[in-house]
Chain A
Amino acid sequence: ELKVEQNPLFLSMQEGKNYTIYCNYSTTSDRLYWYRQDPGKSLESLFVLLSNGAVKQEGRLMASLDTKARLSTLHITAAVHDLSATYFCAVAWRIQGAQKLVFGQGTRLTINP
């Protein structure tokens, strides 16, 4: 059974600081996703990581993937209040061409002025 664990589950930080969210998963997968969810809203796709060593960056967020360690990280640089949200990683495996995503528990990020 594929398991996905994120840590920390809660993170309160000040604007301007850097921090990293970790996502560990238990079995081999061909891709990993990061999503953002604002309170009461749907999920917004941030990144898809397809191969070992993949790194993607968008603004103050950077995601990386180490398939050998079964670890992905989401790094936040010089945090701003607008990045406050819950962040989920999701690991995919494929059945009949469709993906089955297994989500981590989410990391609730609060950025204080």
Chain B
Amino acid sequence: NAGVTQTPKFRILKIGQSMTLQCAQDMNHNYMYWYRQDPGMGLKLIYYSVGAGITDKGEVPNGYNVSRSTTEDFPLRLELAAPSQTSVYFCASSPPGIRTDTQYFGPGTRLTVL
């Protein structure tokens, strides 16, 4: 298993540009999450999904959109990039079952908006 994969690893955007951060998992996990990590801080939840076709907002959803058309993929869309969105973005997934639901994190995407 590749686990949780994210692309790209690095990206520089200009203000106002759009992009999609890709996330995929091959562990057949129901639950998927997007977090952002600002320098020197913990992670904050942007959006999450409990399964294909079902998504919901986390703590900091403004400026982002998500979709979940398949179990494997959970892309994050930035429509109008702003400097405040400069951050490292982590995707995570977890299996069903209350006793076994540790979240597994991808390698991250480092995004800079100039």
* Among B13-21, B42-50, B76-84, the stretch in contact with A: B42-50
Known contacts: A45-B104, A48-B102. The answer to whether A103 contacts B44 by CB under 8 A is yes
A side interface size, CB within 8 A: 23
The answer to whether A100 touches B104 (Cβ under 8 A) is no
The answer to whether B41 touches A105 (Cβ under 8 A) is yes
Any B CB within 8 A of the CB of A88? yes
Of the four ranges (under 10, 10 to 19, 20 to 34, 35 or more), the interface on chain B belongs to 20 to 34
Known contacts: A88-B42, A96-B56, A106-B42. The answer to whether A101 contacts B103 by CB under 8 A is yes
The interface residues of chain A lying within 8 Å CB-to-CB of B90 are 42-43
The answer to whether B105 touches A42 (Cβ under 8 A) is yes
Known contacts: A42-B106, A95-B56. The answer to whether A103 contacts B50 by CB under 8 A is no
Known contacts: A103-B44, A106-B41. The answer to whether A97 contacts B58 by CB under 8 A is no
- B residues 19-44 touching A (CB-CB < 8 Å): 30-31, 33, 40-44
Query: Chain A interface (Cβ within 8 Å of chain B)?
Result: 4, 33, 41-43, 45, 48, 50, 88, 90, 94-106
